[in-house]
Amino acid sequence: MLLKHRPALLLLLVTLPALSQSAPSAETPETGGRVVLVLPFDNRSGQTNLAWVGNSFPDTLNQRLTSVGFLTITRDDRQYALDHLGLPVDFRPSRATTIRIAQTLDADFVIVGSYTVSNARIAVQAQVLEVNKLRLSPALEDSSELSRLFDVENAIAWKVARQIDPHLNVAQQTFLAAPGGVKLSAFENYIRGTDATTSQERIKRLQMAIQETPNYPAALLALGKAEFVQRYYDQAAVSLAKIPRTDRRALEANFYIGLARFNSAKYAEAESAFAFVATRLPLPEVVNNQAVASSRQGHDAVPLFQRASTADPNDADYHYNLAVALLRRGDFAGAQHEVDLALKLRPSDMEAAELKTSINTGRHITSSTKPAPNAAGSPDFAPLERIRRTYSEASFRQAAFQLDQMRAARLATLPRTEQAIQYTQLGHDFLAQGLIAEAEQEFQAAIAAEASSAAAHAGLAQVRERSGSTTDARTEAQTSINLHPNVPAYLVLARLDLQANEMASSAANVSKALQLEPKDTAAQGMRQALQARGQSLP
């Protein structure tokens, strides 16, 4: 089941005191009502070479729906459900089978759809199945030139989001602006690469996608993981390292960088990669691997192993690892306790049984990387902590979803003015990462909390500017200035004026910004840009 990791996640959240203390567990919202499964759309074009388009819809819709607070089900989880039900990966389910898949994955909503292509135009229709009520929505439709596939998919995503949540406050134009600079041909190669049945074809297609769009994070992540599976560890680490740490895929990327570096015996680099992930979301498998990489360098990693076993006390490997680390420290009683727990969880673990024998004889172990003689058991027995080699994206995304829910619960207890301040700051954090849909939600939440927040309106003006909604951007910027003159709003107006070649007006707005903040670097940069075009400030 998709939510099978929830008990471990709740234990994990206890390790985040700033969040868990602010929202009592009894009030923590569940994920119910927000879990969405998007199935590949049916190809009714009669053109088999366009089958990849149908497989691209879950990718795009998942990204857009995730950006506005839904918990979407990944391709891997979808394939798990099909395997579990004994269905082929390319199976197109009936309504009854769709419901069975949704129930297997704990989905609240399922998105189904189809498309036709004629004269280089694509027409799409989608429907939302509400699983609990077994109710299918009216058809949601959109069409355009096939070359504008991104626009069609993003428009459908927005209509789906509004169908599920009529109160959604993110503009359609924000969804349309989301793809950034990804070329459609690169997107095609990415989808074909992720769907490829052989590793050779998968890597080839993903490399082609990156050649066309070098800074394509989704393709870089998929390529790095494919290279890792083929044991091209150095290549995998290089590919994954190209994903900026500000990108939402950076956590998974760095987990696999850690594994790649670990498998190349570059333990310090592995520890650094795992630590980056653990500081942002301390899943037990991540903390465990950070500890193993630290131990391989001869460091005492007992505190980290304790964190992992506390977060998931039902994992035998974490208890085994802690037992080894405690034995290396010379804590025989602690090691005995942990190995007993490991064997209770997994009685057939022969290595744990041999470790118990070693502990009972009082035999010290001193090296974390080299075999050492063991008088009680095999002379070559040298216990080493076990690394976790799989990254559960479902666990990560569920934990992130839970954290968002807890954050919202905490903010709801604050005075409205403080809510607006914190939502606005979150909006700016998302904006700095290029996540405009997420940013818009935060700014809208800030305005809902306090309509007179000039900072929130200025943030929303920047969102509208980035999504190409110039009229709305001007309106929000002017609203912000009317509430309280501020640099960001003046600069939005200045950039829009410069884009419209209204040089004098742009200069006037930059001048007003500099009057407020003479040392503001963005305003100074705008002044230099104007001067380069022969326009001085008033």
How far is it, in rounded angstroms, from Cα 286 to Cα 63?
A: 24
Round to whole Å and give the CA distance between 420 and 444: 9
Q: Are residues 221 and 143 in the same domain?
A: no
- Average pLDDT over the chain, rounded to whole? 88
What pLDDT, on the 0 to 100 scale, is given for residue 104?
81
End position of a domain, from candidates 265, 282, 314: 265
Residue 375's pLDDT is what?
A: 39
The predicted structure's pLDDT at residue 28: 30
Residue at which a domain ends, from 176, 200, 225? 176
Residue pair 304/294 in contact by the 8 Å Cβ criterion: yes
User: Which tops the pLDDT comparison, 495 or 433?
Assistant: 495
d(CA 54, CA 41): 4
- Per residue in 409-432, pLDDT (tens digit) is 888 899 999 999 999 999 999 998
At residue 354, the pLDDT reads 92
Regarding predicted confidence, which is higher, 316 or 22? 316
**30, 33, 34, 37: CA torsion to nearest 10:** 120
Specify whether 126 is located in the same domain as 219. no
Average pLDDT over residues 479-494: 97
Asked whether residue 232 falls in the same domain as residue 246, the answer is: yes
150 and 42 belong to one structural domain? yes
Distance CA 447, CA 441 (A): 10
Q: Over 50: is that where the pLDDT of 383 sits?
A: yes
Q: Is the dihedral of CA 62, 64, 65, 67 positive or negative?
A: positive
Residue 240 in domain: yes
The answer on 238 and 102 residing in a single domain is no
Domain for residue 342, yes or no?
A: no
| Alpha helix positions (H), 264-392 | 267-280, 284-296, 302-311, 316-329, 332-345, 350-360
pLDDT at 258: 97
User: pLDDT value at position 364?
Assistant: 64
pLDDT tens digits along 214-235:
999 999 999 999 999 999 999 9
Structural domain contains residue 343 = no
Q: Is the pLDDT of residue 9 over 60?
A: no
pLDDT of residue 180: 72
Q: In this predicted structure, what is the pLDDT of residue 412?
A: 87
**Whether 101 and 208 share a structural domain:** no
Regarding whether 153 and 45 lie in a shared domain, the answer is: yes
Assign 25 a pLDDT band (cuts: 50, 70, 90): very low
Domain end marker among 243, 265, 287: 265
User: Domain of 123: which CATH number?
Assistant: 3.40.50.10610
Q: Are residues 172 and 185 in the same domain?
A: no
Average pLDDT over residues 349-374: 73
Rounded CA-CA distance 403/69 in Å is: 12
Whole-number percent of the chain with pLDDT over 70:
88
Q: What is the mean pLDDT of residues 230-253?
A: 94
What's the full length of the chain, in residues?
538
Question: Which pLDDT score, from 0 to 100, does residue 246 have?
Answer: 85
**What pLDDT is recorded for position 393?**
65
Closest CA to 225 of 203, 200, 247: 203
Output the pLDDT for position 26. Answer: 32
What percent of the chain lies above the pLDDT cut of 90?
71
Distance CA 457, CA 386 (A): 51
The answer to whether residue 238 sits within a structural domain is yes
Instruction: Tell whether 35 and 169 lie within a shared domain.
Output: yes
Confidence at residue 23, expressed as pLDDT on a 0 to 100 scale: 33
CATH value at residue 203:
1.25.40.10
Domain span holding position 239? 181-265
Tell me the C-alpha distance between 68 and 378, whole Å: 56
Let me know whether 139 and 153 are in one domain.
yes
- In this predicted structure, the answer to whether residue 24 has a pLDDT above a threshold of 90 is no
- Into how many domains does the chain fold? 3
To the nearest 10°, report the CA torsion of 493, 498, 500, 505.
60
Is residue 140 within a helix (H) or strand (E), and if so which, with residue range?
strand 140-145
Instruction: Average the pLDDT over each of 116-120, 130-134, 224-228, 256-260 and give the range with the smallest value.
Output: 130-134
Window from 95-104, 140-149, 414-423, 447-456 with minimum mean pLDDT:
95-104
The answer to whether residues 172 and 187 belong to one domain is: no
Return the structure tokens found at 170.
């993110």
Rounded to two decimals, what is the model's pTM? 0.82
With respect to residue 1, please indicate whether it lies within any of the assigned structural domains: no
Within a domain: residue 410? yes
Clarify whether residues 215 and 87 are in a common domain.
no
Signed CA dihedral, 481, 486, 491, 492: sign only? negative
pLDDT the model gives residue 472: 97
Amino acid, res. 86:
G
Question: For 472-496, what is the mean pLDDT?
Answer: 97
Tell me, yes or no, whether 189 lies in a domain.
yes
| Parallel/antiparallel/unpaired status of strands 35-38 and 135-136 | unpaired
More confident residue, 78 or 515: 515
Q: Where are the alpha helices (DSSP H) in 68-179?
A: 75-84, 95-104, 149-164, 172-176
CA distances from 220 to 112, 190, 213, 244 (A): 28, 9, 10, 11
pLDDT of residue 31: 42
Task: With respect to residue 304, please indicate whether it lies within any of the assigned structural domains.
Answer: no
Hey, is 127 helix, strand or coil?
Answer: strand
Reading the block at residue 410, the tokens are 């905490």
What's residue 538's pLDDT? 86
Lowest mean pLDDT among 47-56, 317-326, 339-348, 407-416: 407-416
